[in-house]
Amino acid sequence: MWKRLVAVVVVAACGTDSEATDRTFSFGPFALAPGQEVTDQCVSVTLHNDQPLYINTIDLAGAQGIHHSNWFYVPEKEPFVGPDGAWPCSQYHYDQGAAAIFGGVLFAQSTQATHETQAFAQGAAIRVPPHSTIVANLHLLDSGDSPLSVPISLTIHPIGAPTTLLSGLAMENMSIAIPPQAQSRFTVECDLSQKLQQLGTTPFRFFHALPHYHALGTGMTLEAIRDSDGGADTIWTTETKIGDSLGGMLDPPFDMTGHSKLRLSCSFDNPRTDTVHWGNGDQEMCIFFAFTDSTYVWSAGVLSQDDPGPSTSANGIIDFTAPACTVVAVDGTR
């Protein structure tokens, strides 16, 4: 059913350095039957890069049927990555967490967006080490009554001389239990001060943001809490529905100096008669992806499907506050 195909096309030259040349990678098309959902489809392509690539901009082009995709770079010949082209994720025990640890985040797609550009400020870039492979898990869904043929391509735009190197950050709340026939909001607050002190590093800046939720999501906000008075400054907020780009470049970047805490709030409107939890398909998610100039890759929030915490009600919204937050940081300078 799945066409195991990848095409690599050089689409434009950026100077004379071959490592600063735009490249397009095409996969599929993937066949979907009406009502079919696929979460076990991975794709990969070996870059054959002898020198680092500094990626400033990425373009994704697809079609109806692409629900979501997360793209990473990893060292060549990692055992959890299959051959160039398309392959079942489970066959090679692919794991996004392992990809983030052994490599790094490259691109995250807004839910059901068929065309999207991830662009950083001039001079800012993701460093992809020599001899890397790009790998992604595709979440495909045909929610209609007709079969679909779904192509997908990713174009990377490297630059030759970056001034700022970026690393990924993810903050999420997996402890969502969205009550039926109600509007609700789930909030988690994370204190980064202890980890920053432990690592001996300084506050960082946010350069790009991307919220992730599904059809019941009505908005997401990431805030930085000021050390001086406990007030909040908004890093990124959106009330955009899925199908459109939910994120974008922060211009100027948001500086965390004077802020030690992050607060993530995800809002939902559930017209169903059942409680909706964390998951794929008709379930929900609450994730905020970002790129920062930290030398560490950050992960924070409620990282398991725990109890959502106590709730209060005001103005027709049920508010849940997570009782605890986990903060993890790993070296991003590999």
Q: Which helix (H) or strand (E) holds 105?
A: strand 104-108
Distance CA 55, CA 158 (A): 4
CATH architecture designation of domain 166-331: Sandwich (2.60)
For 69, the token pair is 């995709």
For 98, the token pair is 């392992």
How far CA 258 is from CA of 228, 238, 254, in Å, comes to: 7, 24, 11
Contact 123, 163 (CB under 8 A): yes
Q: Where in the chain is the domain with CATH 2.60.120.310?
A: 6-162
Amino acid sitting at position 75: P
Nearest to 302 by CA among 320, 280, 318, 317: 320
Contact 171, 288 (CB under 8 A): yes
Nearest to 258 by CA among 196, 208, 301, 321: 196
Nearest to 168 by CA among 78, 236, 108, 257: 108
Q: Which helix (H) or strand (E) holds 107?
A: strand 104-108
Q: Which residue is listed with tokens 């009554």?
A: 145
* Residues in CB range of 198: below 8 A, 6 or more apart: none
Distance CA 281, CA 145 (A): 16
What CATH number should be reported for the domain whose range is 6-162? 2.60.120.310
Distance CA 173, CA 187 (A): 8
Q: Where in the chain is the domain with CATH 2.60.120.230?
A: 166-331
* pLDDT tens per residue across all 334 residues of the chain: 333 344 443 333 333 345 678 999 999 999 999 999 999 999 999 999 999 999 999 999 999 999 889 999 999 989 999 999 999 999 999 998 889 888 988 998 887 888 999 999 999 999 999 999 999 999 999 988 999 999 999 999 999 989 999 999 999 999 999 999 999 999 999 999 999 999 999 899 999 998 888 889 999 999 999 999 999 999 999 988 876 667 889 989 999 999 999 999 999 999 999 999 998 878 899 999 999 999 999 999 999 998 898 899 999 999 999 999 999 998 877 6
Contact 280, 37 (CB under 8 A): yes
**Cβ burial 177-214 (10 Å sphere, 16+ → b, else e):** bbbeeebbbbbbbbebeebbeeeeeebbbbbbbbbbbb
How far CA 139 is from CA of 112, 217, 334, in Å, comes to: 10, 18, 28
Rg (CA), the chain: 20
Q: Helices in the chain by DSSP H: which ranges?
A: 96-102, 193-199
For 107, the token pair is 């691109």
* Residues in CB range of 18: below 8 A, 6 or more apart: none
Nearest to 108 by CA among 93, 126, 90: 126
